[in-house]
Amino acid sequence: MVFPGFDRILRLREHSTLVLSSIGLVVIVLVLNGCTRATIPIDTAATVASDPTEEPLEEATPQRESVFHTSGTYAVVWKPDDDTLKLHVPAGIAGSIVDELEFDNNGISVTGNTTSLGSSLWVEILGPDGEMGWVNSWNLTEDVAGEDFCADPRILAILEQVTQAFLTEDANSLMSRVNPKRGLVLRHDWWNPEVIIRPSDMANLYISRKDKIWGTLSGGDFAIEGSFTEIFSPLLMDVLGQIPTAICGEIPSGVTSMPVVWPGEYKNLHFYAFHRPHPEGGNRFDWRTMVFGFEYIQGEPYLTLIVHYHGDV
């Protein structure tokens, strides 16, 4: 099955094929031969994510804002599986809690009312028991079915563009595909903290040299510290530069002592996984997977996060 216009999308490659797996997942094999790869040091002015709900309390004035799509349904995001999304009345963390939503709740209806508190946008929603309350829009994402995501040809176009952009270090091309609300969220391992490249910092992705803390190595206290070029870019190159297979909705893995887990806070975000298997006849622990997570904003998909998985080499 080939999506209409897909042949035009893949002109940057010498060869590309698209097939449908036996279990109904879209699989795309990208042949990356001929892509140039610069060796100029790069970095990103990223910051560790902070809690967006901790905003200064201000007087709330209900309003309708075009920046938030007030039609359709929503799902909870950026809440770990041991936490819930609280509904407040009135809007703001000082408001009384009238209901709670589980970290993986979806099918959420919005009333259309929004209000700004500090730098946060709060949205009025209907709780599971019909109770109306307010939540931070940071914790809502447009609800999209997994099968619809996997069948969306725009995702394949984005994957093609961002893959080429990472291989050629093209920040401008990346900027147009990265989430304009959250920026690009990177995790060296699923258990390590988020490192965020803000939308305003994307233009400096390959010229900034600021070091970041990416977490710690598994099984020890050794801190992973360095620039995007030193730490995360080589991992991307190792996967994207070796004819990877991209699979929708599954995370391919190899032999490892660590579990392969899609973090609970991203439960309602869909993804494609790029997998580089271990060398034939080589170390079975020497495999690597990059998972590209997406979010829809007013019906348009954007690359939102990349999570790295690997064996214990």
In this prediction the pTM is 0.79
Confidence (pLDDT) at 4: 33
Give the DSSP per-residue string, 1-56: ---TTHHHHTTTSSEEEEEE-TTS-EEEEEE-TT-----------EEE---TT---
Mean pLDDT, rounded, for 200-215: 86
Which ranges in the chain are annotated with CATH 2.30.30.40?
Answer: 73-142
CA-closest candidate to residue 236, choices 12, 6, 32, 29: 32
- Of the two residues 125 and 54, the one the predictor is more confident about is 125
Question: Which stretch, 56-60, 133-137, 243-247, has highest mean pLDDT?
Answer: 133-137
Whether omega for the bond prior to residue 90 falls within 30 degrees of 0, making it cis, is yes
pLDDT in tens, 223-250: 999 888 889 999 999 999 987 778 999 9
CATH architecture, domain defined by 73-142: Roll (2.30)
| β-bridge mates for residue 215, sequence order | 224
pLDDT category at 257 given cuts 50, 70, 90 is confident
Mean pLDDT, rounded, for 78-84: 96
Question: Which stretch, 37-46, 96-105, 279-288, has highest mean pLDDT?
Answer: 96-105
* Residue % of the chain over a pLDDT of 90: 61
Flag whether pLDDT at 105 surpasses 80: yes
Phi, psi dihedrals of residue 50, rounded to the nearest 5°: -110, 165
